Amino acid sequence: MSELTGIGVGRGIAAGPVRRMPDPLPIPSETPFTGDVDAAVEKTAAAMRVVAGWLNDRGAKAGGEAQGVLEAQALMAGDPALAKDVAGRIAKGSSPERAVYDAFLSFQKLLEGMGGYMGERAADLADVSQRVRAELLGVPAPGVPESDEPFILVAHDLAPADTALLDFTKVFALVTRDGGPTSHTAILARAKSIPAIVGVTGADGLTDGTLVVVDANASTVHVGVDAATVAAALVKRDEWLNAANAPITDGALKDGHVVPLLANLGSPKEAAGAVALGAEGVGLFRTEFLFLDSSTAPTVEQQEVQYTELLEAFPGKKVVVRALDAGADKPLAFLNDAHEENPALGLRGLRALRVKENILRDQLTALANAQNKTSADLWVMAPMVSDAEETDYFVALGRELGLRVVGVMAEVPSLALVADQVLETADFVSIGTNDLTQYTMAADRMLGSVASFQDPWHPAVLRLIKQLGDAGAAAGKPVGVCGEAAADPNLAVVLVGLGVTTLSMTPAALADVRASLLTVTLDEAKARAARALNGRTAAEARKLGTS
C-alpha cells in the first residue's frame, strides 16, 4: 500500500475503485479550411448557442453556488466578442474547430494574465471551448465517465459543469492533480459535501480499477488497499457522518468557548439556505453581483433594496458586508478598466474606490439606509486595505455616512504587520485567507504550477494570522476569518488557537466545522496552533496542527 498527499476538502472519507476522466479533445489540425465560410460561421455560432443553453439549463438544475458558476460559463459561450473573433478566424482560413480553439485560447491567456477574479475564469473558458468543439464534431463532450458501480473520480481537474451535477450515489470522492483550496473543484466539492483531495502529486499514476481510500481529513489517498483498510475507513466514515449530522448548535469549543459560525454569501437569495444549515449570521456578503453585469453603477435606491432584503433575513444577527471588491482584476467600465501590466498588484479594491469616491459613497449610503430600516447588526468592511492610513480613510467615511460598525479586510501582508495601528481605528478585521495566502507566497491561486504554494497552512500565513489575532486581543476587538481556510475543519481549530474570534464559510461546510470545534478545548486549540507555527512547510504544519 502506498500513500499520496494533497489538500483535503472537508472531513469526509470514502473508499472505492478509481475511474479516470477521459482525456480532453485533441488540438485541432491547422489544415486550411476550404469549405463554405458563411455556413461554417453560422454552424459555429449555433454550436456556441447550444452550449450556452445547455450550461444555463444545467445551472438551473444544480442551483446554489454551482448555478452562478455555470451561468458565468454560459455567458462566455454566448460572448459576442468571442463569436466575432471565431468568425474572423474562419474567414481567414481556419476550420471551425481550429477557430474556436484559437479564439478561446487567446482569451484564456488574456484572463490568466489578468490574475485574480478574471484569472479564475480561465479554466472555465477552456471547458467551454471543449464543449463547443465537441458540439461541432458531433461527439460527446469530455466529462464524467459512466459506471454501474460506485467509484472514486480522478482527473487533472474538474470543470464546474462536470462537478455541479455529479451523481453522488456513484461518485464517492474526487481526486485531482491540479487545483488548490480555492479552485472550483474544491469550492463546489465543499458545497456538495463530497470528500475531495486536490493538488495531488502522483494522481496521474492512478489507473482505472485501483482500490483507494480517500481521507479528506488527513489529506491522503491510500492506494492499493486491502479489505481490512477499507473496512476501517468505512467505520471512520460513519463516525464522521454521525458528527456532521448532529443537531445544529451555535459554534463553540468543547469547553464552551464561543466561536460564532457565519456564512459567506453572494446574493440575498442564498440567505434562507444558510440559515437552514445553522449560519449564525453572515461573515462575508459579496456585493459584486450588483455591479459586474451593469454598464453603469447601480443607484443608491437599487442597492438599498438588495441590502434591505439581505438584512431582513437575519433579524438581530450580525451581517458583514464587503464594499465593492473590483478594479483591475474585475474591470468595470464605470470604475477602472485601464490596462495594467500586473493587475493583481494594481488599482483594485479600496484603491479603485478611492479614485471614484462617488461610487463608494453611494454604496455606503445605501447600506446605512438599509441598516436604519432593519434590526440586523450591520458591519461593513473595505477590501484590499494596505495600512492604517487607508483604514482611517474608510472608517471616517463610513462613520460620516452613518454606519455604526466599520472595519477592514486583511488580505495583504502589510496590513497584518501594522495590525496594532489598524485596530486603533477599525472596529474589526476580517481575514481573507485566499488573497492573504496568494500575496504572502507570491503564488497565483489559480495557477497549477504553483498550487503547492497556495496553501493557507503555510507557517508564514499562520504567523501573519497570529499577529492579527494578537493585535485584536490587545485592542479588545474581533478578528474573523472569511476565506476558504475557515471551511477546513482542522484549520478552523488552529485559527481559533491563533486568536480568531469568528469563522465564516460556505454554508455547506458549517456542519463539519461545528463538529470539529466541539472536539477541542481552547487550550488544546492553542496547543495545536503553536505546533503548526513551528512547521517548516504547509504539509508539516498541517500534520503538526492536526495531531
Q: Which residues contact 500 (CB under 8 A, 6 or more apart)?
A: 431, 465, 469, 479, 480, 481
Q: Angle at the Cα of 111 (from 110 to 114), degrees rounded to 5?
A: 90
Q: What is the Cα–Cα distance from 182 to 343, expressed in whole angstroms?
A: 19
Nearest-angstrom CA–CA distance, 331 and 339: 9
Cα separation of 190 and 124, whole Å? 18
Query: Residue 115 region, left (φ>0) first, then alpha (ψ -120 to 50), else beta?
Result: left
Q: Please, are residues 303 and 323 in contact by the beta-carbon 8 Å criterion?
A: no
On whether the CB atoms of residues 374 and 334 are closer than 8 A, the answer is no
Q: How far is CA 187 from CA 57, 122, 191, 396, in A?
A: 21, 16, 6, 35
Cell of 235: 467505520
User: What is the β-pairing status of strands 2-5 and 220-223?
Assistant: antiparallel
Q: Which residues does residue 17 pair with via DSSP β-bridges, in sequence order? A: 211
Q: In the numeric block, which cell numbers belong to residue 490?
A: 482542522
Indicate which residues carry an active-site annotation: 184, 482
User: Quick one: cell of 105?
Assistant: 485560447
Contacts of 384 (CB under 8 A, 6+ apart): 325, 348, 349, 350, 351, 409, 411, 412, 435
Specify the residue for cell string 443553453. Answer: 53
**Beta strands 261-265 and 281-286, pairing class:** parallel
Angle made by CA atoms 466, 284, 448, in degrees to the nearest 5: 70
DSSP, res 327: B
Q: What is the dihedral of CA 306, 308, 312, 314, to 10 degrees?
A: 80
Residue 359 exposure: Cα atoms within 13 Å on the Cβ side: 25
309 torsion bin: left (phi>0), alpha (psi -120 to 50), beta (else): alpha
